[in-house]
Amino acid sequence: EKKFQEAKAKFDKDMAAFLAAGGEKQKGVAALRAEKRKAKDGKKPKAAKDPNAPKRPVGGAYGVFLSENREKIQKQLPAGSGITGVTKEAGKQWKALSEAAKKPYEQKFAQNTEAYKKAMEEYRKTHGAGVEDDGEEDEEAESSPKKRSRKAGA
């Protein structure tokens, strides 16, 4: 602590003398590089989401299965098992289901998706056509730039 205070006092004194002699403070190479990277216009600022907008159904058919069977699965597990225990057990049960048993959950998810699309159309009519979805699909399409491959020996 004492050494730090002495070093800081010496630095401040030297910096004051440097600036008095006509020197200029400049950022280091790493700071300049970070500023340049942040200044790139590759990222668009996120638009604020409207809390009144319809919610997109998530989780697929498994999400529907989990929401309907969560209580039953929690009762089967020992007391004190957390969220991860419930989801692990639900995952095992989902994998064990046959395609025929999964069909109703897939249909419910399809119904939820259709209901979301209709609600989103209504929402766009009342709030203007410029309103977009959650933007999840658009973000997946805009992936980060590809890495350049290195040539052998470089």
Residue 109 near residue 58, CB atoms below 8 Å: no
**Measured distance CA(107)–CA(60) in Å, rounded:** 10
Statement: the pTM of the whole predicted model exceeds 0.85: no
User: What's the pLDDT score for residue 6?
Assistant: 95
User: What's the pLDDT score for residue 152?
Assistant: 63
pLDDT by position in tens, the chain (length 154): 899 999 999 999 998 888 888 877 778 888 888 888 877 755 666 677 777 788 888 888 888 888 888 888 888 888 777 788 888 888 898 899 888 988 998 999 999 999 999 998 888 888 776 656 554 444 444 455 566 666 665 5
Q: How is the chain split among helix, strand and coil, in percent rounded to 5?
A: 60, 0, 40
Residue 134 near residue 56, CB atoms below 8 Å: yes
